[in-house]
Amino acid sequence: MNEIIDALKKFRDERDWQQFHNPKDLSLALSIEASELLEAFLWKLPEDADPEKIKEELADVFSFAFLLADACDLDVKDIVLAKIKRNEEKYPVSKAKGSARKYNEL
C-alpha cells in the first residue's frame, strides 16, 4: 500500500496538486468516482458491464481513498483491519452466514 500511496503522491506533487487535496475535496472526488463506477453497471446485467470501465473507475476510487487516508494521517491497513474486527463482532458467523440482513436485524 505504501508503494501505491507514494506513487500517487509523486504524481500529485509533480503537478502541484496537493493544494487541492484537502479531506473535503478528496471525499467529494471519492464520491464522484464511486458514482462513475456505478454508471458502468447502469441499465446492464452485471456480466454485461465493461471490465475496462470498471477497472478505470475502481482505480480512481482506490486512488482518492488512499489519498484521503494519507491526508488524514490514517494507516489504511490499520483502519481496514480494525473495521473487519468490528464487523466480526457485529456479524458473527453463527448469525450472519448466508444472510444479507443488517446486524440489528439478525
Cell numbers linked to 51: 471490465
- Note the pLDDT of residue 105: 87
pTM for this entry: 0.90
Encode pLDDT of 8-25 as tens digits.
999 999 999 999 999 999
Residues 6+ apart with CB under 8 A from 46: none
Confidence of residue 106 (pLDDT cuts 50, 70, 90): confident
Domains of the chain (ranges; CATH) run 2-105 (1.10.287.1080)
Task: Find out whether 76 and 88 touch, Cβ atoms under 8 Å.
Answer: no
Confidence of residue 64 (pLDDT cuts 50, 70, 90): very high
Question: Nearest to residue 63, comparing CAs of 4, 23, 18?
Answer: 4
Residue 104 has pLDDT above 90, yes or no: no
